[in-house]
Structure formats: C-alpha cells, structure tokens
Amino acid sequence: MPRVGLSTAQVVSTASALIDEVGVDKLTLARIAKHLNVQLPSLYKHISSLQDLHERLVVAAQHELLGTMKNAAVGRSGMQALLALAASAREWGVAHPGRYSITLAAAHTPGDGSEEMLEFTLRILESFNLTGDDAIDAARMLRATLHGFISLETRGGFGLPADVDRSFQRAMQGLGNQFSAWS
C-alpha cells in the first residue's frame, strides 16, 4: 500500500527539482527516496523504474515548457510572437536546466507534448507566411538556435564580457528577419 501523502505526482515533482540541481545523469531512485524521506521500495508503488520516471519527467517538462511559451506568445504574431516564445523558452531553460535538457533527450515519449510544441511553433511560423517544408526548415532552425544558446548559457559557455541578453535578442531578431525574407 502506498505511503499516505506520497503520490506519483510528488515523486515526479521531487525528481524534477532534483534534476535541476544535480542533472539527469546523477538522478537516482535512491536519491529521490532519500529526499522524500522514504525507503527505496516505497517509490515502486508509484513508478515502475527509473526509465518510467524519466518518461514521466519528459512529459511533465515538455508540458511545462510548452505552457510557458504559449503564455508568453498569446495574442501575438510574427516577430513579436517569435521573440516572446524564444525569451520564455530561454528564461525557463536557464531556470530549469535539468528539466530543459530532458525535454530534448527523449522526443516522442507518448503524451510528451513534442507534437503539440511543433504545432504551436508552426502556427507562429505561419504568421511569417511559412508553410510546408519552409516551415519545417524554420522550426528546425529555431529549435537548433534556441537549444544551442540555452545549452551554452546553462553550462557557462558565454565567458566573454559582452551582454548575453543582447546577443540572444540579436540572434532571435536575425532568425525572424530570415523567416520574413523566406516568404
């Protein structure tokens, strides 16, 4: 019987916070059990394995990131929507580096939100008059640029004294200009 007060949602939430602190590679069920002050076997009443937990973390993180981006871009289109989406993804990724990394680690986990995230991105790209293969190319370009920037920033990869916010803004503005030129 599961421990009173312990739930699958609590296990996932605790694991989410821990991956932001220690990273995905150092996340263990023993660490989670210790953090929750329960015995390791108690976790198996809520998750079946570390792989099961990882899949749940992907789903939770993807939906959290998607919600953040949607909230930022609501009511906007074109360049404004792109800049809002990008800024919110960066802010969330920097604040939650472990969760951000897991959103990229395992795309296509059932229910993970990756399809919905692509559809959302494609709707924004439609406001640049991009459809079909052009929209897919633009979505890949945006994802690669965002991922590269966020990954470098969360790992301390921007050591030069120039303003990182300015560089990010210019990168996103440059993408938007490129997307506008494609149509």
* Per-residue confidence in pLDDT tens, the chain, 183 aa: 444 579 999 999 999 999 999 999 999 999 999 999 999 999 999 999 999 999 899 999 999 999 999 999 999 999 999 999 999 999 999 999 999 999 886 555 667 788 888 999 999 999 999 999 999 999 999 999 999 999 999 999 998 888 999 999 999 999 999 999 996
pLDDT of 67 reads 96
pLDDT of 113 reads 80
The Cα–Cα gap between 92 and 141 comes to 19
pLDDT of 2 reads 45
Structure tokens at 68: 């953040």
> Are 38 and 3 spatial neighbours (Cβ–Cβ below 8 Å)?
yes
pLDDT of 115 reads 85
pLDDT of 114 reads 82
pLDDT of 124 reads 96
pLDDT of 88 reads 98
Q: How far is CA 12 from CA 58, 73, 104, 120, in A?
A: 10, 27, 18, 25
pTM for the whole structure: 0.89
Give the side-chain half-sphere CA count within 13 A for 168: 23
pLDDT of 112 reads 74
pLDDT of 143 reads 94
Max intra-chain CA distance, the chain: 60
Question: Letter for the amino acid at 144?
Answer: A
The total of other beta-carbon atoms located within 10 Å of residue 32's CB is 21
The Cα–Cα gap between 124 and 179 comes to 11
Long-range contacts of 106-110 (CB under 8 A, 24+ apart): 106/54, 106/55, 106/58, 109/55, 109/58, 109/59, 110/55
